[in-house]
Amino acid sequence: MTFSNKIENPQTPPPEKQTFNDNEILRAAIATERNFCNSYTTAMLGASHEKLYKLIFEMLKDAAQQHRKLVDLQFQHGWLSLTPAPSEEVKALEKEFRDAEKQLK
């Protein structure tokens, strides 16, 4: 027995011209570099051979540097703003970190 009724949704026509602005392209590049860093970290930690570990580590450093440059570019264009933390908060977090570090020793 063959059914002749098709089940489908109405087709949505694609936009004539879809463009991304510079900020969107930059955000996509930053996300890509972040994903590279995460993947390289996972691969590096699983590398069983020293040369492979060093190679992946260099790739991680390169990706991290590129990520940093892209974030700087985003900041230069005014698409990213930073709010400085109060110095008391920074000092409290630093103390908390130092205390936790002492416990690990």
Rounded mean pLDDT of 7-26? 82
At 64-101, the pLDDT tens digits run 999 999 999 999 999 988 888 899 999 999 999 999 99
Residue by residue, DSSP assigns 58-82 as HHHHHHHHHHHHHHHHHHHTTS---
pLDDT category of residue 42 using cuts at 50, 70 and 90: very high
63 exposure class (CB count in 10 Å sphere: 0-12, 13-18, 19+):
buried
22 exposure class (CB count in 10 Å sphere: 0-12, 13-18, 19+):
exposed
| Three-state secondary-structure class, residue 53 | helix
Q: What is the pLDDT of residue 35?
A: 98
* CB-based contact 67:33 (threshold 8 Å): yes
At 43-71, the pLDDT tens digits run 999 999 999 999 999 999 999 999 999 99
Residue 9 has pLDDT above 80, yes or no: no
Q: What is the pLDDT of residue 15?
A: 73
d(CA 25, CA 32): 11
Residue 35 sits at the vertex; the CA angle it makes with 15 and 49, to the nearest 5 degrees, is 145
pLDDT category of residue 29 using cuts at 50, 70 and 90: very high
